[in-house]
Chain A
Amino acid sequence: MNELAKELAGRYGARGWHDIRKDLASVEVDAIRIRDVMAYLRDEAGYGHLSFMTAIDNIERGAFTLSYALRDHDARRGLIVHADVDRAEPTVDSIHLLWGQAWTYQREMREWFGIDFPGSPRVDEEFVLEGWEGPPMMRRDFDSLAYSDATYAERPGRVTHDPASHMREKLYPEAAQ
């Protein structure tokens, strides 16, 4: 493993190699190098399979962290590659030419986080949110309450009680005067 860590560091400036388990590690790279790193891992390092891709909204540091989970079936080990992309301008190279299924994940991330993958097939089409008009809903600054209040009608018959006022009414009503 350490050979690979060194190799990735030397070739692509990869850093932060972390052994999560005996058979699973993670590493960080710059987003600009993602396609090169992925091609190298697939063709030279044995990680032939893209298990899945996802993103994390690290709003505190102004970044989306893309996560690519790769697997080397022969060696029975996995590697997760992380890459931060600027939250204000989230655009990343598509890897659909390396793994065909990647475009599906990229379309999902486009819809849920608003991350663009130029050239990825059908990337701008609706994925699961039919008729969605709000901002990307997996962004942590998406206010789901404000959105649902503005978008959906309140169902009739809803009523709530504040515990403190309810207890005053039931237990010491004289104090209400």
Chain B
Amino acid sequence: MDIKDFIAPFAVWKRAFEKPFTVKKPIDERPGAPRYRGFHMNDADACVGCGTCEAICMNNAIDLVPAAGREAKDGDSGLRPRIDYGRCCWCALCVDICPSGSLSMSNEYVWIDRDPDVFRYVPGVEAKPWDGSALGYRRAEGYRLLDEDRVPMPELGHAEAVASFLELVRGYSRAQAEKEADRCVSCGLCIASCPAHMDIPGYIKAVRDGDMDEGLRLLYETNPFPEACGRVCTHRCEEACSIGSGGDPVAIRWLKRYIADQVELSDYAKALPRGAAPSGKKVAIVGAGPGGLSAAYYLSMQGHAVTVFEAEEAAGGMLRYGIPEYRLPYPALDKDIGYIESLGVSISRGVSIGKDIELSKLRTDFDAVYLSTGLPVAYGLEVPGEDHPRVLDGVAVLARATRGEELGLGGRVAVIGGGNVAMDAARTALRHGATVDILYRRREEDMPADADEVREAKAEGARLVEKAIPLEVRDAPDAAGEAALFIWNEATMVQKEPGKRPVPEPIPGAVREGRYDSIIAAIGQGPDLSFIAESDGVPVKRFRPVVDSFGMATRAAGGAPVFAGGDLVNDRKDAISAIADGHRAAIGIDRLLYGKGA
């Protein structure tokens, strides 16, 4: 051994008393860099529980779990992501993809514990010291893995649109539809919000895969009106879409239309399932609107012989006689109805139940009856002069337009109301060359009509008069019944009860009037229950048949059970709810006929 080996340690010790070359820096605090990817944070109120983080995580580090105090509701699953740090590799893909932008990371990375199970928690729900930290990883401004913008829908220009009854919305091309379908993350949050609970992620995937037969099959599982709904559905699903939490929601309605538009009616039978063998049971349906025909479709798939009685000359209900053709062209509606009839459903057109045939007779001749008669009676203006000859009913005007009759509206038209019927009547009058005022008792934002419909009506030239409370209709001077004065009171919105919507209060003295050739009342519609006799045993409360969860109104002795649904019964009063009611009733009737539900 060398002598140096003995001396070396002392040589080092000698240095211990010299001034060090290095800088002393305490090591008790080691903050992460400002954009360090540390433990996750989640804004649990902004999060919608779509699970896109779970789907993208390459390490299976995320579970979606029910979060205390959060219930499932429209557009929110009530679930929240739980991160397992035994698996997370801190890649931040979950943060980058998060549709709502609720997920982020703190720059905290030191956490010591003896219990390995604590390293798995629900950020934003289980409190952590780094919650609310301003530092850490955020998705960079403008950096998106998901496309926030919807593929624009080709539409007619407004000038061109009012000049004709051509369909406004032209539909997606294949490339456009596939691009739009690509925006869907298949979370399925939308399904609960659809009254028919359609398999939306399923049919959107079919668009992505270019498999139209599969798409059509999925549509018909819950909705035999894809052409109509693909155009006019109230699309509540889109309000629930998780992509909508940080951008435009996926154009679910247009993708539904795209599928139905791609398949020729003559090819439907190849794509869709066959009905069951004949059951020998007969079902009568009153009303060939979407609700009645939806019941007819599912009943005939179950093998029952279905006869639909329809008072009008053509089937389709309000889809045909209410909704104008520029929104829903007749060939598209005919295609939906044509397929249902091709299955052997018989539609007796021009037969009114209560007039031509009694309901009691249907109860004797058939094994079950389904009522889907809708709301045919228009509410009046309920002001003096409401029966002036120039006061017209909105739905009747639209029905005459459908029949191709001369409307004779004249040059100046007032439409009273703020719902979809009002917008359809106004836009129909515009297409007949009139100048149109829409008068509504509340503000634009209070209108029950689709915001799109209101926007379109205005863009096409209708003038909106808000906060107008109808007072009276009078004969216009020197008009001899050919024109009328509409008199209204300007209102101001008053918040009467906190949390409730404000109500219009007339401003004293602020009375206005306008001279119009026609005043179209579009205030709302009610049912006509005159065809139901006491002896039919159908319970009625507040002008509605009372039904159970399958839509059954009565099993009273003396005839077949009676079911009811659609606008006649439900609160939503749109096509898809009527369709869902029809499907549900078909299931209920089938169970009853086979004794399953007895």
Contact = CB atoms under 8 A, between A and B. Distances in A.
A51 to B, nearest CB: 18
A174 B60 CA distance: 32
B66 A161 contact: yes
B59 A168 contact: no
Contact of A164 (B71, B78, B116, B187): B187
Nearest to A155: B86
B244 to A, nearest CB: 15
A159 interface: yes
B72 A166 contact: yes
Given A155-B86, A157-B117, A162 B192 contact: no
A132 B50 CA distance: 35
A71 B63 CA distance: 46
Interface string A135-176: 000000001110011001001011111111011101110110
B51 interface: yes
A161 B189 contact: no
B65 interface: yes
A149 B191 CA distance: 31
A160 B54 contact: yes
Nearest to B86: A155
Given A157-B117, A158-B63, A160-B64, A167 B189 contact: yes
Contact of B78 (A149, A159, A162, A170): A170
A163 B59 contact: no
B72 A175 contact: no
Nearest to A153: B86
Given A157-B117, A167-B77, A170-B72, A162 B63 contact: no
Contact of B59 (A148, A162, A167, A171): A148
Interface in B150-206: 187-189, 191-192, 197, 201
Contacts of B84: 155, 158
Nearest to A158: B63
A166 B117 contact: no
A167 B66 contact: no
Given A155-B84, A167-B189, A175-B197, A161 B59 contact: no
Nearest to B187: A163
B188 A164 contact: yes
B58 interface: yes
Contacts of A152: 86-87
Q: Which residue, of A162, A163, A171, has the highest number of chain B Cβ atoms within 10 A? A: A163
B79 interface: yes
A170 B189 CA distance: 13
B71 A148 contact: no
Q: Which residue, of B49, B54, B62, B72, has the highest number of chain A Cβ atoms within 10 A? A: B72
Nearest to A175: B197
Interface string B56-88: 001110111110000111000111000010110
B78 A166 contact: yes
Contacts of B54: 160
A161 B191 contact: no
Nearest to B49: A163
A144 B116 CA distance: 22
B75 to A, nearest CB: 10
B192 A145 contact: no
Given A144-B89, A174-B549, A164 B189 contact: yes
A167 B77 CA distance: 6
A159 B63 contact: yes
A158 B119 CA distance: 12
B189 A166 contact: no
Contact of B120 (A155, A166, A174): A155
Nearest to B65: A161
A171 B191 CA distance: 11
A161 B64 CA distance: 5
A144 B93 CA distance: 13
B59 A144 contact: yes
A132 to B, nearest CB: 14
Interface in A103-140: none
A167 B191 contact: yes
Contact of A145 (B60, B71, B189, B201): B60
B191 A164 contact: yes
Interface string B548-567: 01000000000000000000
A161 B116 CA distance: 23
Given A160-B54, A161-B65, A163-B187, A168 B192 contact: yes
A65 to B, nearest CB: 21
B334 to A, nearest CB: 30
Contacts of A174: 549
B86 A162 contact: no
Contacts of B192: 164, 167-168, 171-172
Given A161-B64, A161-B66, A163-B187, A145 B58 contact: yes
Nearest to B87: A148
Contacts of B116: 155
Nearest to A148: B59
B460 to A, nearest CB: 38
A14 to B, nearest CB: 32
Contacts of B197: 168, 172, 175
Nearest to A169: B72
Contacts of A158: 63, 84, 120
A162 B51 contact: yes
B50 to A, nearest CB: 6
B201 A164 contact: yes
Q: Which residue, of A159, A164, A167, has the highest number of chain B Cβ atoms within 10 A? A: A167
Q: Which residue, of A159, A171, A172, has the highest number of chain B Cβ atoms within 10 A? A: A171
A167 B192 CA distance: 6
A152 B84 CA distance: 13
B188 A163 contact: yes
B72 A171 contact: yes
Contacts of A160: 54, 62-65
Contact of B79 (A149, A161, A171): A161
11 contacts: A144-B89, A148-B60, A148-B87, A152-B86, A155-B120, A158-B63, A160-B62, A160-B64, A163-B187, A163-B189, A166-B78
Interface of A: 143-145, 148-149, 152, 155, 157-164, 166-168, 170-172, 174-175
The 8 closest A-B pairs by CB, nearest first: A164-B188, A163-B77, A160-B63, A170-B72, A167-B192, A144-B58, A167-B72, A171-B192
